[in-house]
Amino acid sequence: MPYPAVPVRHASTGPLAGLRFGVKDLFDVAGYPTSGGQPMMLALSGIKTRHAPVVQALLDAGAGFAGKTVTDELAFSMNGQNAHFGAPINGAAPERISGGSSSGSAAAVSNRLVDFALGSDTGGSVRAPASHCGLVGLRPTHGRIPLAGAMDLAPSLDTCGWFTRDLPTFARVASVLLGSDAQPLPQRVRLLRPHEVWALLAPEVTAALAEPCSRVQAVGGTATPVDIVLDSFDAMYWHTRHIQGREAWSSLGGFITRHQPPLGPGVKERFDWSSRVTDEQVAAASAFRVQFTQRLADLLGDDGVLLMPTMPDIAPLSAAPEASLEDYRNASIRLLCTAGLSGFPQLSLPLGSRLGAPLGLSLLGPPGRDASLVALAARLVQSTI
C-alpha cells in the first residue's frame, strides 16, 4: 500500500532474524492505518497504536517489517484485482492474475520484495495466490493463529496464513507462528487421493500434476482413492457460500449500509447477494458443516493426509472478462471448500506448472497437525522447492 514509511521496531536477534516480511492490509501495524483495500474504510481507520498479535510475534522473533500489502477489496474476492488500489503483479506469470484476496502479499513474495508475507484465508485467499504465484502457502487449522487486530470477513472461516518461496523459510516462520503440534502426525502417514476432487479437473490440468504426484508418492507411498464429498459438490459449494455470505454481511453490512462506499465489480454483487442469505439457509449450512467435518475427521483419523490439487487450473489471464473470472472463482470454491467447511489445515506447494505458469499441489491433514504438515512436506518433496 502507498503509505508513508513509519519505523517499526523488531528484535535484533531471533529465529527470523535477517528476514523481511509484508503484511496484508487487514492486519493492524502500529503507525499505519488498516484499509481492508477499501478507500472509505481507510478514511475511517485512523492510525493504529498497536500491532496485531501475529505481527508482534514476528517482530519479536527478529523479522523486519517491510510494508503493508494490497488486499482485494474487503477481502471478498479471489482475483487479485482491486478497483481502487490496482492489481499486484504476479511475479511468476506477469500476464496472469495473482489471485486474492492476499494478492499483494503473494506478489511481494513472488517478486522477491520480501522473504515472506502474511495473508488471510477465508474461502481460499492464501491457497489461490500461492498456487497462482508459485509459492508455499498455508491455510492453518481454524483458530490456530490468533486474528485479533485483523479485519473480520467471515469469522468462522477466517484464518491467518503466510507465503514463502521455499520450504526452509516457510518452516522458520512456522516455528514462530505454529510452534509444536499437541498431537503430531506420525512419521508414516496414509496418503489419500480424493478422486471426486481430481475428477473436477480438465485432463490437461491432471496431466500437469501427474509428475509432481508421482514424486510425492515415491516418498510417501501410493495414495489410496477415497470419497470425501457429502451429498454433492453443489451442496458443499452453496453451504459454504451461505455461511460466508451471512457472516460477511454481519461483519461489514453495517459499514456498507451506513457509508454506501463505492464497491468494485464482483465485490458489490457478492455483498448484495450476501445481504439476502436467509436464516433457513444458514441453519442448513451449519448443520451440514457439522456432518461434513465429522465425516472428514473419521476419514483422516490421526494419520491421513489428502493429496489434492489446490486450484482448478493455472491463473486466468489478467485481461479475462469479469464474468470469466467469476466462473473461475465459482469452480475454485468447489476445490477449496473442503478445508473451509472443516477448518482443517491445507498446505499448497508449488510443484506443478502448465503453459509456463505455476500450479499448486496440496496436502490437507487432520486438525491441529499444521506444523507436522509442514515437516511432512519437507520430507515428501525433499529439496525440490
Show which residues are catalytic. 24, 101, 125
Dist. CA 251–CA 245, nearest whole Å: 10
Q: Tell me the three cell numbers of residue 202.
A: 480438465
**Cα 309 from Cα 348, distance rounded (Å):** 8
User: Cα-flanking dihedrals φ and ψ of residue 18, to 5°?
Assistant: 95, -10
Q: Apex CA 319: angle with CA 118 and CA 249, to 5°?
A: 50
Please, how many CA atoms are within 13 Å of residue 218, restricted to the half-sphere of its CB? 8
* Measured distance CA(32)–CA(38) in Å, rounded: 15
Number of residues that make up the chain: 385
**Cis amide bond preceding 101, omega within 30:** yes
* C-alpha separations of 48 from 29, 44, 60, 152, 159 in Å: 6, 11, 18, 16, 21
Helix H or strand E segment including 311: none
Question: Residue 130 contacts by C-beta under 8 Å, 6 or more apart in sequence?
Answer: 99, 106, 136, 137, 163, 310, 348, 350, 360
d(CA 51, CA 32): 9
Nearest CA among 76, 88, 84 for reference residue 26: 76
The pairing of strands 20-24 and 190-194 is unpaired
Backbone dihedral region of 14: left (phi > 0), alpha (psi from -120 to 50 degrees) or beta?
A: left
Residue 321: alpha-carbon gap to chain centroid: 23
